[in-house]
DNA sequence: CATTCGTGAAGACGAAT
DNA sequence: ATTCGATTTCACGAATG
C-alpha cells in the first residue's frame, strides 16, 4: 500500500505503452510534453494545449472560400460544391449523377435520353463503389455515424473517427477483423482524443459487437497506429455528468477542485476515472447543498454506489473537508 | 420510507511468471 | 496458461434522516 500502484487503470483506460512514439500529426500527444493536441482551424495549425508547440501546419481549412468578390468576378471566381469531409467515403469530392430525369435547365428528358442516363447511372454507381476499400468505408462510416448519434457525439468526433478509420484501412488493419469492431474502436478513440470520452460499456451497448472484441480491436488499433491517446482524466467526465444531472456551475467548479486536490495526493492512481468523476460530482453536490443521491449519480455515470461512497470519502478527506 | 453506510464474497483485469 | 494483487461490483442489513 505504501508504494504507488504502478498498474495503470484499464477497463476504461487501456494505457498506451509508455514509450510515446513518433510522428502522426493530428492524433498524437505532444512530442515535447505529452499534452493534448488540438487543431486550430483558423490558423491551420495543430497546437499543443500544454506547451504551445506547433506540431503541424499543413492542415487545410475545408470550409468554403467566403471571399467577397468584386462585381465582375462574382460568377466565375467562386469554388463550387460542399467542403471536403471525411464523413463521405469519397470525401464528398466525386461527381454524382442525379437521379432526377431533368437536364441542366430543369427540362424533363426524352425517353431515349432517360434510358441513356439510367445506363450511365448504373456505371457511375459501379465505379464509385468499385473496390473493397470503398465499400468497406461506406459501411464503416455509416456505422460510425449511427453510433455517434446514439452517444450524442458531435461532428468533430465523427470526423476524427473517420480519419482514424481511413488510416486503419490504409495500414491494412482490417483483413481478418470486423468492420463493426474497427468502426467502434475508431469512434471510441476519437471520442477520447476530442476530449469527450465515453466509457467502454457505453460504447459497447450501441455497437453491434460484444465488449470483449471491442476492447481487443481497440488495443490493436492503438498499437498499430501509434495513436498517442492520452488517458481520460476524471475531469473530462465531470462536465458531462454534471449536465446530465443539471447541476450548478458552482458544483462543477467544486468537483473539479476536489479532483485537483485528490490528484496531488495521488488518490487517482489506478482508480477508475469514471468512478472518481462520479464521486467528485457527488461530493461537490454535498458541499454546495444540492440535493443529489448516490443512486442518481450512479445511474448517469455507470458506476456503482459503493464505488462512489468509497471514492467521495477519500476525496473529502484529502481536501480536509467534511460533509 | 428513502437514503446512506459498511462488509465480505465474487468477478474482471493487467502484470508477472 | 496460470497465478496474483488491486479494484469494482453485488447483495445484504443496519443506521440515519
Shortest-distance nucleotide from A11 CA to C1': B13
Number of domains, chain A: 2
Per-residue confidence (pLDDT) for residue A1, from 0 to 100: 36
Tell me, in Å, how far CA of A210 is from C1' of B2?
36
Residue at A272 is within a domain: yes
Name the residue closest to the C1' of B2 by its CA: A293
Tell me, in Å, how far CA of A265 is from C1' of C11?
32
- Same domain for A279 and A212: no
Last residue of a domain, one of A198, A225, A252: A225
Residue at A181 is within a domain: yes
Shortest-distance nucleotide from A219 CA to C1': B14
Q: Is A106 left (phi over 0), alpha (psi -120 to 50) or beta?
A: left
Tell me, in Å, how far CA of A299 is from C1' of B11?
21
- Same domain for A248 and A184: no
Alpha-carbon distance A205 to A150, whole Å?
10
Looking up residue A139, the CATH number of its domain turns out to be 1.10.472.10
Per-residue confidence (pLDDT) for residue A268, from 0 to 100: 78
**Along the 323 residues of chain A, how does pLDDT read in single tens digits?**
333 333 344 333 333 333 333 233 334 555 555 555 555 544 445 555 555 555 544 434 444 444 444 444 444 444 445 555 666 665 555 566 666 666 667 677 677 777 777 777 776 666 655 566 677 788 888 888 888 888 888 888 888 888 888 888 888 777 778 888 889 888 988 888 877 888 888 888 888 888 888 888 888 888 777 776 666 778 888 888 888 888 888 888 988 888 888 888 877 777 888 888 999 999 988 888 888 888 889 888 889 999 999 888 888 888 776 54
Residue at A85 is within a domain: no
Per-residue confidence (pLDDT) for residue A95, from 0 to 100: 60
Last residue of a domain, one of A225, A259, A275: A225
At A169, which helix (H) or strand (E)? helix A155-170
Name the residue closest to the C1' of B7 by its CA: A306
- Residue A32 dihedral angles phi and psi, to the nearest 5°: -80, -55
- Same domain for A175 and A203: yes
Tell me, in Å, how far CA of A266 is from C1' of B15?
21
Name the residue closest to the C1' of B12 by its CA: A11
Per-residue confidence (pLDDT) for residue A99, from 0 to 100: 62
DSSP label at A79?
A: -
**Nucleotides, chain C, CB distance < 7 Å:** 5-11
Whole-model pTM: value is 0.60
Residue at A1 is within a domain: no
A51 alpha-carbon distance from chain centroid: 23
Give the range of the structural domain holding residue A298, as residue numbers without chain letter.
Answer: 234-319
**Which stretches within A234-304 are classed as H helix?**
234-244, 249-264, 273-287, 294-301
- Same domain for A208 and A148: yes
Tell me, in Å, how far CA of A154 is from C1' of B11?
35
- Same domain for A181 and A217: yes
Which residues on neighbouring strands pair with residue A45, listed in sequence order?
A40
Per-residue confidence (pLDDT) for residue A87, from 0 to 100: 60
Footprint of strand C on the protein (CB under 7 A): A 1, 5, 7, 9, 269-272, 275, 302-304, 306-307, 310-311
- Same domain for A211 and A146: yes
Amino acid at each position: 500500500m505504501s508504494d504507488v500502484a504502478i498498474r495503470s487503470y484499464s477497463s476504461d483506460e487501456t494505457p498506451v505503452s509508455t514509450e510515446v512514439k513518433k510522428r502522426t500529426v493530428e492524433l498524437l500527444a505532444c512530442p515535447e510534453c505529452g499534452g493534448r493536441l488540438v487543431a486550430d482551424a483558423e490558423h491551420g495549425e495543430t497546437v499543443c494545449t500544454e506547451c504551445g508547440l506547433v506540431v503541424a501546419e499543413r492542415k487545410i481549412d475545408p470550409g468554403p472560400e467566403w471571399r467577397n468578390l468584386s462585381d465582375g468576378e462574382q460568377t466565375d471566381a467562386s469554388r463550387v460544391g460542399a467542403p471536403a469531409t471525411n464523413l463521405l467515403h469519397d470525401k464528398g469530392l466525386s461527381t454524382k449523377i442525379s437521379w432526377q430525369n431533368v437536364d441542366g435547365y430543369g427540362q424533363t428528358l426524352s425517353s431515349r435520353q432517360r434510358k441513356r442516363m439510367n445506363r450511365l447511372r448504373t456505371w457511375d454507381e459501379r465505379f464509385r463503389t468499385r473496390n473493397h476499400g470503398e465499400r468497406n468505408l461506406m459501411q464503416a462510416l455509416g456505422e460510425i455515424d449511427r453510433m455517434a448519434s446514439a452517444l450524442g457525439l458531435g461532428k468533430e468526433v465523427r470526423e476524427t473517427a473517420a480519419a482514424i478509420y481511413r488510416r486503419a484501412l490504409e495500414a491494412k488493419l482490417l483483413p481478418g477483423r470486423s468492420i463493426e469492431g474497427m468502426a467502434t474502436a475508431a469512434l471510441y478513440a476519437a471520442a477520447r482524443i476530442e476530449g469527450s470520452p465515453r466509457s467502454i460499456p457505453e460504447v459497447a451497448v450501441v455497437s453491434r459487437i460484444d465488449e470483449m472484441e471491442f476492447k481487443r480491436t481497440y488495443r490493436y488499433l492503438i498499437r498499430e497506429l501509434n495513436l498517442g491517446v492520452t488517458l481520460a482524466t476524471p475531469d473530462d467526465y465531470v462536465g458531462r455528468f454534471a449536465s446530465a444531472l443539471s447541476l450548478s456551475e458552482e458544483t462543477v467548479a467544486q468537483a473539479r477542485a476536489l479532483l485537483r486536490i485528490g490528484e496531488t495526493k495521488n488518490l487517482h492512481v489506478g482508480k477508475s476515472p469514471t468512478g472518481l468523476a462520479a464521486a467528485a460530482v457527488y461530493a461537490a453536490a454535498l458541499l454546495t447543498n444540492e440535493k443529489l443521491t448516490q443512486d442518481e449519480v450512479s445511474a448517469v455515470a455507470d458506476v456503482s454506489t459503493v464505488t462512489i461512497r468509497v471514492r467521495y470519502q477519500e476525496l473529502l478527506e484529502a481536501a480536509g473537508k467534511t460533509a
